[in-house]
Amino acid sequence: NARIGDGVVITPEGKSQNLDAENYFIRDGIVVVPKNAVIPAGFWI
């Protein structure tokens, strides 16, 4: 299971349609948080 901290904002707005980051990726404008990823509290995706 992915762990998403308090106050995290997840939106593809203003980002590339396809992006690879450390704990998430965007494909065709959809943000994907992979299994076992950790998104810290207050993070803005």
pLDDT digits (tens, 9 = 90+) for 15-45: 889 999 989 999 999 999 999 999 999 999 8
Query: Phi first, then psi: what are they for 10, rounded to 5°?
Result: -120, 110
Burial class from Cβ neighbours inside 10 Å (0-12, 13-18, 19+) for residue 1 reads exposed
Measured CA to CA, the distance from residue 10 to residue 4 in angstroms comes to: 10
pLDDT at 15: 83
pLDDT at 13: 85
Question: pTM value?
Answer: 0.76
Measured CA to CA, the distance from residue 1 to residue 15 in angstroms comes to: 25
pLDDT at 14: 84
